[in-house]
Amino acid sequence: MSDLSAAWARLSKAAEAAGSRRIDSLFSAEPDRLDRLVVAGAGLELDLSKQPWSLADLGVALDLARAADIEGARARFFAGEAVNSSEHRAALHMALRAPRGSDFKAQGQPVSGEVEAMRDRMAKFANGIRSGAHKGATGRPFRKVVHIGIGGSDFGPRLVWEALRPLESPIEVRYVANVDPSDLSFALSGLDPAETLVVVVSKTFTTQETMTNAKAARDWLRGALGQDGDKHLVAVSAALKETAAFGVPDDHVFGFGDWVGGRYSVWSPVGLSCVIGLGPEVFEAMLAGGAAMDAHFREAPLETNAPALLALAHIFNRNGMGRPVRAVVPYAQRLHLLPTYLQQLEMESNGKQVTPEGKPVQHHTAQAVFGDAGTNVQHAFFQLMHQGTDIIPTDFIAVREASEGDPAAQRILLSNVIAQAEALMVGKTEAEVRKELAAKGVSADEIETLAPQRTFPGDRPSAMILMDRLGPAELGALLALYEHKTFVEGVLWGINSFDQWGVELGKTLATRVLGELNGGAANPHDPSTARLIGKLKA
């Protein structure tokens, strides 16, 4: 048995023992539990004390990380080696947010200089739009931005805008992703083409959904402004030939290297709509927050390394205790899109069943992620969280200070996130319920019926991520925390976290089906698919 296999076996044994004790019992058994399991990094505090592991189990998890050579993998990652082995590429999104004067290299080629030049160009362009100096075809300033993209070209920028946008902004940003024509119709509704800038984000400028929407938006601009409507187009793409053919002016094209993966691209020109809508200073502050988490991840020992410890906690639940689903609940309405963002980041990165060598994986991989903003979800799926038959670990995100509004309401919000984490862990015994009901004068027969229904088993784990405020630096640190957490998990599972072949088959089949729906020749299909095509054929 290899050292890594032995480390996995020890983790499984530790998790089996953890299943026979309660989490809350560990606080009295381990007086230094909070000292060891609350860590800070880049302005965030991570509390993993409500996880099912003991401090001895933590040591076993750290041994697993070392057996998998997390530190060596991290060094290769930051060195710009081809960690995306199936596509022979580096994954060097950290270079996009690095402090000026850095010296990142992608497979030996310097990239920091071109990154800084592009950041300067984005800032200049955004300032021109925001100040009104850069005008539209009719001489009027731009007041609206429509961002068209999908997947990594949409989730990150949309989240950043929702998280940081001011209550009143001179520039409004709207996002379009779905090829469903209603999505674009809603985005364009009420807009004046003379004051609207359309930003099309597609690295290849061939993505079906994005280009379908982009063509419709271009037609909308041309219908009102003639050929001069093309002056309202911006492209974020590496395909200059395609952007030129589409009509985008060359000085409106912003590119990025192939070492930037889609779901890691919000830090690049993919975030241009946010630079325009929020201002370059806000975007730079977000980059700085991400860079601070990069430094923490790169320099902190594993024992106090927030991304590594969060990954190990999730691994302990996923692989050790057989919990394939995790909830992410930000108690901040501005972060309500975070679970959706993490679905792509984690499930597309680590939803794999083979190793880079094409061999079957030896362990279950990515957890399924779901969630939404608290307190809303307390009235949705928290019934299942507290009393369902499955134990679903939860990541809570809490913000000390409200971005706006009544401080009293913020205290109510904070009281709920604290209480939910406590309730999930401690629960309420049937004996406690019986005593409460008896004190209220409920009959013995009714107590027999009600007590089991009002019992909370507890012993349900959670992580708590706390930030003082939801500013751009804190948001940047939070997103980088989860990026690096996802990387660590991929190393532990022995998979490539930076490709996504699983999305290709459906896209290929959709092209074939579309031809048939448009009247083309029939292709071989299973009977169910053939029936649907026949029923929906034009």
Q: Which residues have a catalytic role annotated?
A: 348, 379, 507
Token pair for 220: 């909308």
- DSSP H helices, 251-379, are 272-278, 280-299, 306-315, 338-342, 349-350
According to DSSP, the residues that pair with 464 across neighbouring strands are 47, 396
* d(C-alpha 151, C-alpha 99), whole Å: 27
Question: CB neighbours of 245 closer than 8 A, spacing ≥ 6?
Answer: none
Q: What are phi and psi of 46, to 5 degrees?
A: -115, 120
**Cα–chain center distance at 110:** 28
Which runs of E-coded beta strand occur in 306-438?
325-331, 368-370, 394-399
Q: Are 311 and 488 in contact (CB under 8 A)?
A: yes
333 Cβ neighbours under 8 A, 6+ residues apart = 373
Distance in angstroms (rounded) separating the CA atoms of residues 417 and 348: 28
Find the helix or strand (DSSP H, E) in which 210 lies.
helix 208-225
Cα dihedral 450/453/457/461 (nearest 10): -140
Q: Minimal CA–CA distance to 18: which of 50, 47, 54, 49? A: 54
- In 3-state terms, what secondary structure has residue 33? helix
Structure tokens at 246: 């589409």
List the one residue out of 223, 203, 219 whose CA is nearest residue 270: 203
Integer Rg of the chain from CA: 25
Q: Which amino acid is at 49?
A: S
- Is 191 exposed, middle or buried (CB count within 10 Å of its CB: 0-12, 13-18, 19+)? middle
Helix (DSSP H) and strand (DSSP E) numbers for the chain: 22, 13
Distance of CA 92 to CAs 149, 258, 267, 364, Å?
Answer: 21, 10, 11, 26
Are the C-beta atoms of residues 296 and 284 closer than 8 Å to each other?
no
Contact indicator for 305, 58 with CB cutoff of 8 Å: no
CA distance 9 to 63: 11
- Rounded to 5°, the CA angle 64-350-272 comes to 120
In the DSSP assignment, the letter for residue 344 is I
